[in-house]
Structure 1
Amino acid sequence: MTGFRGMRFVMDLIKRFTPKRESLTGNESISDKQPEEVSTSTTLTVFKQHKWSLALGVGAVVLAGAITFSGHQYVEAGMDNVYHVMLDNQEIGIVSDNKIIDAYKLNKPLEVQKSFPNVHVVLKTDGITYTSERAYNKKTDNSSVISSLDELLVPQPVGVALKVDGKTIAIVKDQETVDTILGQVRDPFTPKSKDNAKVAALSTSIGDDISTAPSELEKVEFVQKVDTLEVPINPTELAKPEDVVKSLLTGDVQPAKYTVVEGDCVSCIAKKLGLSKQFIYDNNPGLQDDKLKIGNQLDVTMLKPTLSVKTTEKVVRNQEIQYDTEYVKDDSMRLGVVEPISPGKNGLKKVTIEVTKVDGLMTAEQVVNEEIVDQPVTAKVKKGTKVIKGEGTGKFAWPVISPSISSTFGYRWGKLHKGIDITGNKSIMAADNGKVVETGYKSDYGNYIIINHLNGYETLYGHLSQIIAKSGTIVEKGDKIGIMGSTGDSTGVHLHFEIHSSGNLENPLKYLNR
């Protein structure tokens, strides 16, 4: 504005001191004068007349420039950057520095949270924005803007809803509390650090129980789907973490007892109540080998956890490999006479078993790898040439094509699992030459076959859906003797396979290799 007024002043000066052009007087005419006269006379006259005017004009221009520059400097001195502050696109005031608003957005939520130590509070400052403007002597009021923000922004207490399979179980303070609760639910069923280190191989003792063996944790997860959601709350709605943990673990189920009556057995009670034998043994630690007394009370409290923990663990155990025997026929020796040539030596293999548990109870096991540590040494024996029909070789073949082991040898639920469970092709074959000495049905084995291999070994095949071999007949290794089924005390279609040596139980994995 000042520069514009200065320029107008200069223009007025120039107009005022610039003379008008004079016309020739009388009857004079430029043509009446000599050219030299006209030129010289006119030049002198114009110069004299405008000398003073020109000087005044130049001075006026210089003065105008000085006035314009001074005016510009004066206006610039009064210019500032100011910031229009808005909340949800509505202007609430002007501040002198944007750092005031940046600091407010950063620090105010922390300040509010300190005022509510027992509950998580959200102060939504995302709606605060500002735009800058360069203006002359614009009025700002920092304190008024901050006061307006304090008044308009209302702290909102929030909690985190813990959901299991879409159902809200409880609302707790924050996500950290949820993580602590879930950790407390997982921890009881997760192998401790000492067990989770390098897996110590189990011995080959019959007493080994794979369900409680040292293991390496491969994966831990929840069976149900777990979600969390931040929700507005009334602080009185928050649940106590210890109550949430208890509810998740027990499902708020009340204790239950069962009184043993005449004729009861563990498997009978399990079927009657719809429970597993493992559950009954785990809930009643003093119970061994199916020994029950009439009148005894069993704890059959079936907790129904709201949230179940599934673990996948790896168990490694050492297993002997039975050596083979090579027979050298000698027609100088009578039938049935044997004479050692060189002794045999058992080998050793490392068997890796993947065990699946739900809430600490074993639900599945699978042999996933076998690694030979020491190869067995074959024994050599001199034997008479006359071979008895049906006599076994001492070397066993898998009784199932494409075998897969679903349960290994050892103690289960307080009772010895006498063999291995095998799935695969449904046709059951004789594992070695022998004589079928017994067939029939038992409550635990279902339909079964026993083959005497006439060399100190016997094999048993259980849970068959059909028995093909006849008692008293001679079978050769690989002959079809039955069809796989799920008869007797069985939880699914499979073959229960046992090996006995001189009347003693043996682990079939000692004789069978992949």
Structure 2
Amino acid sequence: MTGFRGMRFVMDLIKRFTPKRESLTGNESISDKQLEESTTTTTLKVMKRHKWSLALGVSAIALTGIITFTGHQYVEAGMVNVYHVKLDGQEIGIVSDNKIIDEYKQRKPQEVQQNFPDVHVVLKTNGVTYEPERAYNVKSDDSAVLATLDKLLVPQPVGTELKVDGKTIAIVKDQQTADQILDQVSAPFAPKAKETAKVSALSTSQGEDITTAPSELEKVEFIQQVDTKEVPIKPDDLAIPEDVVKKLKTGDVQPAKYTVVEGDCVSCIAKKLGITKQFIYDNNPGLQDDKLKIGNQLDVTVLKPTLSVKTTERVVQNQEIQYDTEYVKDDSLRVGVVEPISAGKNGLKKVTIQVTKVDGLMTEEKLVNEEIIDKPVMAKVKKGTKVIQGEGSGKFAWPVVSPSISSTFGMRWGKLHKGIDITGNKNIMTADNGRVTETGYKSDYGNYIIINHLNGYETLYGHLSKITITEGTIVEKGDKIGIMGSTGDSTGVHLHFEIHKSGSLENPLKYLNR
């Protein structure tokens, strides 16, 4: 207070002795220069007269500044940054650094999980928050706050509930385990990887089985609705993953056996149990040809998977395209004769088929795309139109009705038997269309007939008792040409029948079938 009074005293002195702009007489003005000189002189006089009072005022001002600065520094030195920690909005203590809480929230759940390796444990730290404050001389206790959090935060075992069409199937450790189980159920139905290098051209006669052909998986899904959800559990609630996989694949169906009794047959058992014969054979590979033994046990377990796997696959195959043939009529060639002009060539196309399967069995196939790789080249041929009467078809019929062979083609007693001997109905018929080129008698053949079929084949009919046709006659297959007999070198009534092709002997049984 003394310092402030000194300051006011100095100011009052200066004000009192400051000359006014009017003269002391009141009727004359003082110039600015005179006023300035007068003021300076007056100020110096006042300062000399009251020098101790002025010194005291200045000292008071300086002391006040020093006290104020020192007090501020003292208070500032006592200020600290602290963090009020709360759990679900309720304060539980003060820590010195927010990093302590951040590190705790990251570290503690991991430590808890390590203590329970077989169960997925959740430590809910989301409710732990903090608010910063800068205050004077506030005390914090980091360890006490962490200890309180350890006490208040209770680890909760949780599992993943697996549901199929709303029905709980099992509770497993976590979502990863549930995903692995579902993958194991669907994996057997995933198609084999396709190797492009092995894709070969398929002709219409070859035809690769599309149900087992290599394919590219487009989509795999479950027919039923599958849901998973994290739920609180007791450790004993967890199911063994292998058991869950089995349950999803088989429907938890117990094996069924059937014991064979007297009078049973595969079809009888199938009808009795409402299953197919093929199902019984598939489930019992050792069963063959309906051979059952009394007392045998058959596996008749009908699996009903809880989950059915639907796959959509894309099969790409290279298929041949059959070339067309252009026929050019030629009346210089006999009917049935075809001569190539230019060869044809099959084309190639890439066919894309979408195949849908349920549990590995195809339920639908759809052609989605065809791409021509090589166009087919059309063949060009001459086709004969010249009709020649008596030309054979090349397919022979038996020359007698109800034939019976008494001697076959081949070596007999060191000599070649050139044809076959046939007995049966006595009427002899031509084996194919043709022209009678020779009839007559020979010592070995007796009465005989030779027919030229005008296609490279000739037939001979021997040992006839009577010839009913003449040379040059055009005959058709099945026409009567003679009567069976035993003329020439013969030991009984029969027909000796030969076939010649381009002048060479052929075994008639090569062309005749019963």
Q: Are the structure 2 counterparts of residues 43 and 242 from structure 1 closer, same or farther at C-alpha, using a change threshold of 3 Å? A: closer
Q: What's 2:440 paired with?
A: none
Q: Are the structure 2 counterparts of residues 285 and 338 from structure 1 closer, same or farther at C-alpha, using a change threshold of 3 Å? A: farther
- Deviation for aligned residue 1:170: 0.8
Residue correspondence of structure 1 range 362-401 to structure 2 within 5 A: 362-374=362-374, 375-384=376-385
Give SS of 1:211's match: coil
Q: How many residues align?
A: 364
Taking only aligned residues, the RMSD between alpha carbons, in angstroms, comes to 4.1
Q: Are the structure 2 counterparts of residues 352 and 175 from structure 1 closer, same or farther at C-alpha, using a change threshold of 3 Å? A: same
Residue correspondence of structure 1 range 114-513 to structure 2 within 5 A: 114-193=114-193, 195=194, 200-201=199-200, 203-204=202-203, 206=206, 208-256=208-256, 264=267, 273=274, 283=283, 299-331=299-331, 336-342=335-341, 343-374=343-374, 375-384=376-385
CA distance in 2 between counterparts of 1:284 and 1:203 reads: 34
1:217-254 deviation digits (Å, cap 9, x = unpaired): 22222222222111111011000001101001100123
What amino acid sits opposite 2:126 in the alignment? D
CA distance in 2 between counterparts of 1:43 and 1:322 reads: 130
| TM-score normalised per structure 1 | 0.60
Structure with more relative contact order (C-alpha pairs < 8 Å, separation 6 or more) = 1
Contact kept, 8 Å, 2:265 with 2:290, in 1: the verdict is no
What amino acid sits opposite 2:248 in the alignment? L
Q: Are the structure 2 counterparts of residues 173 and 137 from structure 1 closer, same or farther at C-alpha, using a change threshold of 3 Å? A: same
CA distance in 1 between counterparts of 2:364 and 2:264 reads: 31
Greater CA drift, 325-334 or 70-79:
325-334
1:184-227 deviation digits (Å, cap 9, x = unpaired): 1121111244x476663374464743222222222222222222
CA distance in 1 between counterparts of 2:277 and 2:359 reads: 14
Contact kept, 8 Å, 2:199 with 2:318, in 1: the verdict is no
Residue correspondence of structure 1 range 11-50 to structure 2 within 5 A: 11=4, 47=47, 50=50
CA distance in 1 between counterparts of 2:344 and 2:25 reads: 156
- Deviation for aligned residue 1:54: 2.1
Q: What's 1:89 paired with?
A: 89
Q: What's 2:78 paired with?
A: 78
Contact kept, 8 Å, 1:18 with 1:53, in 2: the verdict is no
CA distance in 2 between counterparts of 1:196 and 1:182 reads: 27
- Max radius of gyration: which structure? 2
Contact kept, 8 Å, 1:327 with 1:383, in 2: the verdict is no
CA distance in 1 between counterparts of 2:6 and 2:78 reads: 30
Give SS of 2:60's match: helix
Q: Are the structure 2 counterparts of residues 110 and 294 from structure 1 closer, same or farther at C-alpha, using a change threshold of 3 Å? A: closer
Contact kept, 8 Å, 1:199 with 1:216, in 2: the verdict is no
CA distance in 2 between counterparts of 1:270 and 1:350 reads: 45
1:336-392 deviation digits (Å, cap 9, x = unpaired): 433323344433433332222111122222232333344143242324289xxxxxx
What amino acid sits opposite 2:168 in the alignment? T
What amino acid sits opposite 1:243 in the alignment? D
Contact kept, 8 Å, 1:121 with 1:158, in 2: the verdict is yes
CA distance in 2 between counterparts of 1:145 and 1:31 reads: 83
CA distance in 2 between counterparts of 1:52 and 1:216 reads: 108
- Deviation for aligned residue 1:134: 0.9
What amino acid sits opposite 2:250 in the alignment? T
CA distance in 1 between counterparts of 2:43 and 2:10 reads: 19
Q: What's 1:108 paired with?
A: 108
Give SS of 1:191's match: coil
Contact kept, 8 Å, 1:249 with 1:307, in 2: the verdict is yes
Where do 5+ consecutive residues of structure 2 fail to align? 17-22, 31-37, 388-514
Give SS of 1:154's match: coil
Q: Are the structure 2 counterparts of residues 67 and 101 from structure 1 closer, same or farther at C-alpha, using a change threshold of 3 Å? A: same
CA distance in 2 between counterparts of 1:312 and 1:98 reads: 54
Contact kept, 8 Å, 1:202 with 1:316, in 2: the verdict is no
What amino acid sits opposite 1:381 in the alignment? K
| TM-score normalised per structure 2 | 0.60
CA distance in 1 between counterparts of 2:197 and 2:107 reads: 49
Where do 5+ consecutive residues of structure 1 fail to align? 1-7, 24-29, 387-514
Q: Are the structure 2 counterparts of residues 98 and 16 from structure 1 closer, same or farther at C-alpha, using a change threshold of 3 Å? A: farther
CA distance in 2 between counterparts of 1:137 and 1:207 reads: 91
Q: Are the structure 2 counterparts of residues 338 and 105 from structure 1 closer, same or farther at C-alpha, using a change threshold of 3 Å? A: same
CA distance in 2 between counterparts of 1:198 and 1:224 reads: 37
Contact kept, 8 Å, 1:120 with 1:173, in 2: the verdict is yes
What amino acid sits opposite 1:382 in the alignment? K
1:422-465 deviation digits (Å, cap 9, x = unpaired): xxxxxxxxxxxxxxxxxxxxxxxxxxxxxxxxxxxxxxxxxxxx
CA distance in 1 between counterparts of 2:366 and 2:277 reads: 19
Give SS of 1:109's match: helix
1:245-278 deviation digits (Å, cap 9, x = unpaired): 100110012334677967949xx9699947797x
What amino acid sits opposite 2:231 in the alignment? V
Q: Are the structure 2 counterparts of residues 9 and 122 from structure 1 closer, same or farther at C-alpha, using a change threshold of 3 Å? A: farther
CA distance in 2 between counterparts of 1:93 and 1:357 reads: 63
1:396-418 deviation digits (Å, cap 9, x = unpaired): xxxxxxxxxxxxxxxxxxxxxxx
1:280-331 deviation digits (Å, cap 9, x = unpaired): 775466789xx75677987553311111211122333343333322222345
What amino acid sits opposite 1:115 in the alignment? N
- Deviation for aligned residue 1:182: 1.3
CA distance in 2 between counterparts of 1:104 and 1:377 reads: 82
CA distance in 2 between counterparts of 1:339 and 1:18 reads: 143
CA distance in 2 between counterparts of 1:43 and 1:79 reads: 48
